[in-house]
Amino acid sequence: MSELILPKIDKTTILSRDKIIYKLKKITKSENVLHQDDEIKPYETDALSAYKQRPLLVVLPENVQEVSKILKYCNEEKIKVIPRGAGTGLSGGALPLNDAILLGLGKFNKILEIDFNNKCVVAQPGVTNLSITHAVQHRGFYYAPDPSSQLACSIGGNVAENSGGVHSLKYGTTTNNILGVELVLMDGKICRLGGKTLDQEGYDLLGLICGSEGLLGVITEVTVKILKKPQSVKAALIGFPSIEDSGNCVTEIISKGIVPAGMEIMDKALIEATDNFCKAGYPRDAETLLIVELDGTTSEVNELIKTVSEIAKKNNSSSIKLSKNEKERLAFWAGRKAAFPACGAMAPDYYCMDGTIPRGKLSQVLKEIQRLSKKYNLPVANAFHAGDGNLHPLIMYDGNNKDELKRTEEFGADILKYCVKLGGVLTGEHGVGIEKRELMCEMFNDNDIQQQLKIKQSLDEKNLLNPGKVYPILRKCAEEGRVHVHRGENKFPDLPRF
């Protein structure tokens, strides 16, 4: 494992905290600068709740000019800045540092323009994912990426993490559904990338920003594509007696050239938990459950549903239920969308992983997760975006038990290492953050990481924007002027625990 070393607390910064507060209150309203303990406590963690730290203070700007002035001031004074959206991230990307300002974008919560002619919406980063669909559905439009947290997660955070959702198989993740962003660089420069058109000249800088996890700039505006709702949508709820059968069914559906709008797998533990939670009517006798959604014209959907049913029967399905109406289709998805909260009844805490594998390896990785579950003596429930190989094992543990947390971290790391071994990657949509940062060396060698760090340095020369995230250990070699990964035993020595 890699020992991760974050910068030590800068005593000069702490001593000048009052001066920083005074200066920030000159840039934004006094009430937007939070520095009392009870004010900043809610910001000490995000949805990856195994770790927490209090920020030096919190500032809540109200417009892009204030963001620009704050970043320019912090750059000049070498003050670290942690951008934060809704705080629903699952990799610790918004975890604060106690010698850094946390820049909250909660006041950027307005939809600025709805352009049906160009099929796009311009929104501030604090607008929730689902709010975009709500704003356009009266005209028969919607926004395709739909993370399970879409009710609460912000569109700016979606861009930062390149979030996906159950419909990413056909319609892509965030990067496939944004047209432009406005962002502020660490030196205060305000930039625009893209716009309302589908194609842009020059380098794909928009692709670079999407998924950059707040390391390259602070997003202050997002332009997204909206789609017309299809004529017909139907879902199939299919039970299988084994992991292999469901995995083979997924592979055959894709190999036949069928591209479902969504295709999800849940294992037996999650079937029971979610059915208890929201009474979705799932087949409790099944070992695995496959949800397949198809959309398009009515004739197309009817034909595809028939073909999928035949493929399922060929692969030993134990039950098949087809949605008869929209209410029933939404009920099929209700359990999958509630998978995370449903796990709250299974253990005091859970740790959600986010690896991605080739589709054909689904049954293989599920077997390995089961083996690791026995090895670490920790229960696990599994949900997969089966069509694109993005898996979400939920490891159950008790955060008050230090040994269980340690075993959980090791269990999760072993899952992700196995994903890479099978030709997959460390993250499909949650990001690297702090959770996977020392595992980056499983995928990239030192030269790879150097090149990525050079990109960051070109936009944030002093490494002030969200430092300590994504990249493992920054130890500088004086004679070479290079940064090297330091190998150690302790996973997160710099992070306090609950």
Return the closest-CA partner of residue 129 out of 151, 108, 148: 151
pLDDT of the residue at 485:
41
pLDDT of the residue at 492:
53
Bridging pattern class, strands 390-397 and 380-385: antiparallel
Return the closest-CA partner of residue 357 out of 393, 410, 312: 393
pLDDT of the residue at 49:
72
Listed in sequence order, the DSSP H helices in 100-232 are 129-136, 155-161, 168-171, 205-209
> What is the C-alpha separation between 126 and 137, in angstroms, rounded?
20
State the fold for domain 347-435: Alpha-Beta Plaits (3.30.70)
pLDDT of the residue at 140:
97
Query: Which one-letter amino acid corresponds to residue 465?
Result: L
Coil, strand or helix: which one is 391? strand
Whole-model pTM? 0.89
pLDDT of the residue at 473:
63
Give pLDDT tens digits for 248-289.
Answer: 999 899 999 999 999 999 999 999 999 889 888 899 999 999
Angstrom CA distances, 126 to 59, 80, 361, 365, stand at: 15, 22, 37, 36
Bridging pattern class, strands 190-194 and 178-184: antiparallel
**In which element (H, E) is residue 40 found?**
helix 37-40
Q: Judge whether 232-340 and 347-435 match in fold.
A: yes
CB of 418 closer than 8 Å to CB of 365: yes
Q: CATH for 232-340?
A: 3.30.70.3450
pLDDT of the residue at 319:
96
Query: How many residues are listed for the chain in this entry?
Result: 498
Angstrom CA distances, 440 to 257, 443, 485, stand at: 34, 5, 10
pLDDT of the residue at 64:
98
> What is the C-alpha separation between 386 and 471, in angstroms, rounded?
28
Regions in the chain scoring below 50 on pLDDT: 1-9, 11-15, 475-490, 497-498
Angle between helices 298-314 and 243-255 (to 10 degrees): 140
Listed in sequence order, the DSSP H helices in 286-436 are 298-314, 326-337, 339-342, 362-376, 402-421
Q: CATH for 111-228?
A: 3.30.465.10
CB of 378 closer than 8 Å to CB of 404: yes
pLDDT of the residue at 476:
42
- Domain map (residue ranges) of the chain: 111-228, 232-340, 347-435
Give pLDDT tens digits for 55-70.
Answer: 999 999 999 999 999 9
The DSSP bridge partners found for residue 180 are 194, 223
Question: What region does 492 belong to: left with phi over 0, alpha with psi -120 to 50, or beta?
Answer: beta
> What is the C-alpha separation between 150 and 86, in angstroms, rounded?
11
- Supply φ then ψ for residue 285, to 5 degrees: -80, -10
